Structure 1
Amino acid sequence: MENDTPFFDPTALSDPTTWIVAAVIFALLIFSGFFSGSETALTAASRGKLRSMADKDDRSAKGAQKALDLKEDNERLIGGILLGNNLVNILATSLATVLFTTLLGEGAIVAATLVMTALVLIFAEVLPKTYAITNPETSAARIARPIALIIALIAPVVTVVRFVVRGVLRLFGLRIEAGANMLSVREEIMGALTIGHQEGSVEKEQRDRLLGALDLHERTVEEIMLHRSGIEMIDADADPQEILSQALQSPHTRLPVFRDDPENIVGVVHAKDLLRAIDRLTRGENAPGLDSFDISAVAMKPYFVPETTTLDDQMRQFLRRHTHFALVVDEYGALGGLITLEDILEEIVGEITDEFDTPEAPVLRPDAAGNYTIDGAMTIRDLNRATDWSLPDEEANTVAGLVIHEAQTIPLPGQCFAFHGFRFEVAGRDANRLTKLKIRRL
């Protein structure tokens, strides 16, 4: 039996219903584009930028505040937008199938699928989302209030959808809390700084300073303290002449004072206090002389801190106690090193030197083979900063400590190791201490 249905019915174009259906489809595509762009704008908008916009007294302030309110419950926001978007898309596709059936007959389904896929993809997905992503905060502020109204109207349906979704996810051991953020503010800032540096909009020095400030609460004094082997001390029982000469020749203004044993710290002497005491003893006709000098009367009470104290807490303690100097002890009370306020500040701003400091270490430069020759006592953090590497510092503070940890032994000069994507060669060793290392990326 032959099918008399024509491929195209021109009489349908004269029917007003055809044009009404086409107009409704066009309107639904606009709504679909609105929902798609709103989803992109509200999910991509930065809360920090929205807060800055909301604090300004202009037309966008109320919209930005409404966008912030919507982002407080992302699950409700996404559920409402997707529900509205799917409703208009499905309705538009159904009406398009009816329209094309009237116009084309048997070929309506294929034609409707192809045409609606192209229209939805271009005008309801790619175009609005591309526009929204170029300036998500401004777009979010503009569409926040109408989206909030729509979500309020379909709130009962969204509630049912959320209940079903959470029930299904709970079967897989997942629990969703409204307003839970996958990334903390600190992680967002760190990620933004890293991307900005890679793209060239943030200088390396700026990135290092900001990341250093953000890391203070995660790092401990043990990681940056001057080890006890490098501490210059004054023997309380030494001759006053020797004490004076040592204090004048030292580049430091504060020196720990020990008696009998370097572990037995009895005080900390400041160069100014020392000079004032000596001035009183040596000036004037009735001055008793330098031989009567007692450093114990000049030294201040030592300030001890545990090695597990975070740098953030220690800086607060320095500011609260109006002091810049602390001795670090381990869990057994043994002296581990010392830390100053300057050490903590250097973690933020970099090396701080003055006219009395020893000459700064030369800038790291690779040799012809790509090897960096460094002191084994150099901290991993300083090496990463200088070379922009990312060697791990969880198990060791110094590069020598990292090599010993990975090798599980104290290597001999000339031995080479490869780990974490780098080649390490021991270039110098003094007793059990690795004094010089060569490093290059594999």
Structure 2
Amino acid sequence: MDDISTSSLLIFLFVLILISAYFSGSETAMMSLNRYRLRHLASKGHSGAKRAMSMLDRPDRLIGLILIGNNLVNILASSIATIIGMRVLSQYQIDEAASIAITTGVLTVVILIFAEVTPKTYAAIHPERIAFPSSFILKWLSLLLSPFVKTLNYITGTFLKLLGIKDLKNNDALSQEELRTVVHEAGALIPQRHQEMLLSILNLEKVTVEDVMIARSDIYAINVNDDFKQINKQVIQSPHTRVLVYRDNIDDAVGFIHLRDALRLQSKEDFSKSTLLRAVKELYFIPEGTPLNVQLANFQQNKARIGLVVDEYGDIQGLVTLEDILEEIVGDFTTSMLPDPSDEINVQVDGSYLIDGTINIRELNKEMNWRFPTDGPKTLNGLIIEFLEDIPAANTCLEIAGYPLEVITVADNMVKTVKVTPAKIS
């Protein structure tokens, strides 16, 4: 290069630094792209997004291409800078070794500032501005340098296999926990109410039918062996559109009667127990422990809206409806004729709460933002009895999960009323 002027070499060096900055910025921009926004733009026909997405399908090839170009440029720039430095510094009687050292130091600072930190920082902040246009150039470079890239990938792939990495394709699928984080961090992009619904859907597999079922003792049902006047009264006063019909014992369930059918029969003169039984729909049973997401699919598949939860012995434990599962997603329906959960929680003057012992623990936690354990008994009564391993007497005090409790009333071998004093909770 002795015949090339120093000024020409400086221009050439400047161009090489710009190319190095391009490769550095392109690498950061391509790797910083939001993959889900990228898919969205590609589905809308954005050409730059399509090119970038196709290249990101094999990140090993993309990185190999960029590094080949970047390293070639940086090595050439180093050689050019060394020649320029020796020419300039020799005029000041500086020896060759010192000239190389000074040139290396100056070039390192220049490359760090103008070819590394600055372009990479800008690309990390605005990845789409850099990645989409540069993907056009990278696409052509990948064709031009294909033999070198394939050779490099073969060698690096061999070493990666020795490290236990066999699949070199990009896998950016989100786990459920990661998806929850995405929903949480969506901020104003997703309304708060919609965020809660999305998270509730993700949580369905963690909730079983026992968590939302109406307990056996609370099931509104008609005993066909009762006096017929009593049956008529129950039909008229039913708070539900579907009612369980049984004989003497709830375990001897006959089926479900739709309130519409029962009222239509009442309007006819031949209404009797036999006509009522003929209008009963077939029972649908649900094994205990069934996750809500599975049961929701089962309801849809079986064209059912209501079912009885049974244990391993076939004994009825409770009742679950499609509405119960939907309420886990969208919250309580305002059209429900049942008492609200808040009716079971009464605020006292001193700031404490009198709570019905039969309240569902999950409902209590959701309404009061408390953290009673939910992996055991489903009701507050059951939680207290399990904790004490005995049926407590009135005025018994205890603490569960940091919450001070006082048993107020006990009847029928059950804790009926419990007092909770949040002010004492640390």
Shorter-chain TM range is: 0.7 to 0.9
Q: 1: CA distance between counterparts of 2:84 and 2:345?
A: 73
Is 2:420 the counterpart of 1:425?
A: no
2:236–2:263 CA contact under 8 A, matched in 1: no
Is the deviation greater in 90-99 or in 336-345? 90-99
Match of 2:12 among 21, 24, 46: 24
Q: 1: CA distance between counterparts of 2:169 and 2:382?
A: 41
Q: 1: CA distance between counterparts of 2:399 and 2:201?
A: 35
Check 1:360–1:40 CA distance in 2 against 1; reply closer, same or farther (3 A cut): same
Report the counterpart of residue 416 of structure 1 in structure 2. Answer: 399
Is the deviation greater in 369-378 or in 23-32? 369-378
User: What root-mean-square deviation, in Å, do the aligned CA atoms of Structure 1 and Structure 2 show?
Assistant: 4.1
Match of 2:316 among 311, 335, 340: 335
Q: 1: CA distance between counterparts of 2:190 and 2:354?
A: 28
2:385–2:391 CA contact under 8 A, matched in 1: no
TM-score using structure 2 length: 0.79
Check 1:322–1:62 CA distance in 2 against 1; reply closer, same or farther (3 A cut): same
Alignment of 1:247-396 (within 5 A): 247-281=235-269, 288=270, 294-354=275-335, 356-359=337-340, 361=342, 377-380=359-362, 383=365, 387=369, 395-396=375-376
SS at match of 2:280: coil
Is 2:38 the counterpart of 1:45?
A: no
The one-letter code sitting in structure 1 at the alignment partner of 2:296 is M
TM-score using structure 1 length: 0.76
Is 2:117 the counterpart of 1:126?
A: yes
Matched residue count? 411
Report the counterpart of residue 153 of structure 1 in structure 2. Answer: 144
SS at match of 1:415: strand
Report the counterpart of residue 106 of structure 2 in structure 1. Answer: 115
Match of 2:169 among 174, 179, 183: 179
SS at match of 2:85: helix
Check 1:274–1:214 CA distance in 2 against 1; reply closer, same or farther (3 A cut): same
Report the counterpart of residue 194 of structure 1 in structure 2. Answer: 184
Check 1:183–1:48 CA distance in 2 against 1; reply closer, same or farther (3 A cut): closer
Q: 1: CA distance between counterparts of 2:136 and 2:382?
A: 55
Deviation at 1:403, TM superposition (A): 6.4
Deviation at 1:74, TM superposition (A): 2.4
Is 2:59 the counterpart of 1:78?
A: no
Deviation at 1:268, TM superposition (A): 0.7
Check 1:186–1:18 CA distance in 2 against 1; reply closer, same or farther (3 A cut): farther
Is the deviation greater in 338-347 or in 179-188? 179-188
Return 5+ residue gaps in structure 2 as ranges.
Answer: none
2:257–2:280 CA contact under 8 A, matched in 1: yes
Report the counterpart of residue 87 of structure 1 in structure 2. Answer: 72
Return 5+ residue gaps in structure 1 as ranges.
Answer: 1-13, 282-287
1:327–1:335 CA contact under 8 A, matched in 2: yes
SS at match of 2:116: helix
Deviation at 1:28, TM superposition (A): 2.4
